[in-house]
């Protein structure tokens, strides 16, 4: 999904959603980030305009399909951004591209996600009984109360939500060498699910430059403090653009 097509962009930014979210999360980002950047908001099966498709529940099945679908958009330099589960998707896409000897992203930004090699003890949520699952969604504060109270809507989206939580909860990290591109890890100081030390642990996945940035707010700080997040992301993107030099763009 291209919320704001920009044929003259020097850099594409692929944005991956958090559990339960769709491409619309990033709908405004194209006009708020540097004009040299074109935002590609990734729409997964089971979300929004793809609600009728079966959602993936295994990361190892999703990543190859996703990389294949995005290949057509990798005809110019690109960066990867993902929040929560989306951060894990961005990370695994970068590793798959390296394994296949394909062009690498010029920047990887993970947000609201523990480093993949660390273990945080927590119960699995994707297979909770219905009432407990809905209570858990309420505690996360990521699903509007009016949606939680609507049995018809919840019946439609609950299978997708369960699949989304399963993506992260069944993920099996396989060690590989650290990634060579610059890596930034964003976190929320009030995020009870993702402690700050687990954000800083992303440094172990970076062979090159690494920076961690902490924002006010809880797990959904990218919505609560969007302007601050976009300011830091703009900083990272400007550095990446500076490294590209006079990259020719063919509209």
Contact criterion met (CB below 8 Å) for 57 and 161: no
The DSSP secondary-structure symbol of 206 reads B
User: Helices then strands (H, E): number in the chain?
Assistant: 9, 6
Contact criterion met (CB below 8 Å) for 158 and 133: yes
Catalytic residue among 24, 57, 84, 212: 84
DSSP per-residue string spanning 219-245: TTHHHHTHHHHHHHHHHHHHHHHHHH-
Q: Give catalytic status of residue 212 as yes or no.
A: no
Residue with tokens 């999904």: 1
User: Which tokens in the block code for residue 230?
Assistant: 């976009």
| C-alpha span between 214 and 112 (Å, rounded) | 10
Task: Find the largest Cα–Cα distance for the chain.
Answer: 56
| C-alpha span between 28 and 51 (Å, rounded) | 21
| C-alpha span between 69 and 23 (Å, rounded) | 15
- The number of beta carbons lying within 10 Å of the beta carbon of residue 224 is 16
The set of catalytic residues is 84
């Amino acid at each position: 999904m291209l919320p704001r097509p920009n044929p003259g962009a020097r850099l594409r930014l692929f944005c991956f959603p958090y559990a339960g979210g769709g491409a619309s999360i990033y709908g405004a980002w194209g006009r708020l980030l540097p004009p040299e950047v074109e935002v590609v908001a990734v729409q997964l099966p089971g979300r929004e305009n793809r609600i009728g498709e079966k959602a993936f529940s295994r990361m190892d099945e999703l990543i190859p399909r996703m990389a294949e679908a995005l290949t057509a958009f990798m005809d110019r330099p690109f960066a990867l951004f993902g929040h929560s589960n989306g951060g894990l998707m961005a990370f695994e896409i970068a590793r798959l591209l390296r394994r296949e000897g394909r062009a690498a992203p010029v920047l990887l930004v993970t947000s609201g996600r523990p480093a993949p090699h660390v273990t945080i003890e927590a119960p699995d949520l994707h297979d909770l009984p219905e009432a407990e699952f809905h209570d858990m969604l309420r505690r996360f504060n990521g699903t509007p109360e009016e949606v939680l109270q609507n049995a018809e809507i919840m019946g439609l989206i609950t299978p997708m939500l369960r699949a989304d939580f399963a993506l992260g909860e069944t993920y099996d990290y396989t060690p590989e060498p650290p990634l060579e591109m610059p890596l930034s890890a964003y976190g929320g100081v009030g995020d009870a699910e993702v402690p700050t030390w687990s954000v800083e642990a992303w440094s172990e996945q970076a062979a090159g430059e690494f920076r961690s940035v902490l924002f006010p707010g809880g797990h959904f700080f990218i919505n609560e403090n969007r302007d601050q997040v976009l300011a830091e992301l703009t900083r990272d993107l400007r550095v990446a653009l500076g490294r590209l030099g006079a990259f020719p763009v063919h509209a």
